[in-house]
Chain A
Amino acid sequence: METSASPRPLYRIVFWIGLVGLFGGIAAGIFQSLRFVGLPPGIDYQKIQDRLVERLEDEGDYAAVARQKRLAMKYKVPFVPIKSASPRDLAEMAVAWYEEGERTGDPFCYHRAALSFVEMQALLTINKQSDAVQTWQETGRRLESLPPVRSQRWSIANPHFLGQLAWTMATRPGSDEHDPVRAIKFAEMACSQTNYRDAELLDTLAVAYAAAGHFEEAVARAEKAIERVAATELDPQRRLDMEARLELYKKQQPYVQFGRRETAGY
Chain B
Amino acid sequence: MNKAATLSATSSRLLGRTFVHPIFDYLFIGGGLSLVVTAWVFAAGTPFIIDQAFFAYFLLFSNSAHFAASTVRLYTKRGSFEALPFITMAFPLVCLVVLAVCMIYPELLGENLLRLYLTWSPYHYAAQAYGLAVMYSYRSGCILSAPDKRMLWWVSMLPFLTVFLAARDHGLHWLLELGNLSLPLWVDTLLVETLGGSLRLLSFIAPPLLYTLVATNKSGPMPLISILAVATNVIWFAVLNTTEAFFWATVFHGIQYLAIVIIFHVRDRMSEPDNRHGIFYHVVWFYGACLILGYALFNCLPLGYNLAGFPPVESVWIVLAAINVHHFIVDGYIWRLKQGDSNRKVVEQGTTTAAGATAPT
Contacts and interface: CB of A to CB of B under 8 A. Distances in A.
Interface in A106-150: 106-108, 111-112, 135-138, 140-141, 144
A52 B304 CA distance: 12
A21 B297 CA distance: 12
A77 B313 contact: no
A71 B313 contact: yes
A48 B304 contact: no
B243 interface: yes
Contact of A30 (B89, B169, B182, B303): B303
Best-surrounded residue of B59, B92, B242, B299 (most CB of chain A within 10 A): B299
Interface in A41-93: 41-49, 52-53, 56, 64, 67-68, 71-72, 74-75, 77-79, 81, 83
A111 B166 CA distance: 13
Interface in A1-43: 7-8, 11-12, 14-15, 17-19, 21-22, 24-33, 37, 41-43
Interface in B238-264: 241-244, 246-247, 250
A22 B4 CA distance: 60
B341 interface: no
A48 B313 contact: no
B169 A154 contact: no
A47 B52 CA distance: 9
B96 A11 contact: no
B45 interface: yes
Given A26-B300, A75-B114, A81-B243, A15 B90 contact: yes
Interface in B320-348: 320
Contact of A44 (B46, B52, B89, B118): B52
Given A68-B311, A108-B177, A83 B52 contact: yes
Interface in B286-335: 295-308, 311-317, 320
Contacts of B311: 52, 56, 64, 67-68, 71
Contacts of B299: 29, 41-43, 45, 48
Contact of A111 (B49, B169, B308): B169
Contact of B168 (A12, A48, A154): A154
A75 B49 CA distance: 20
Given A32-B307, A49-B313, A68-B312, 5 more contacts: A26-B304, A28-B303, A45-B320, A48-B299, A71-B313
7 contacts: A28-B308, A32-B303, A33-B300, A42-B56, A44-B53, A77-B317, A81-B52
Which 10 A-B pairs have CB atoms at the shortest separation, nearest pair first? Answer: A18-B93, A52-B312, A29-B303, A29-B304, A28-B304, A15-B89, A29-B300, A18-B92, A79-B247, A25-B304
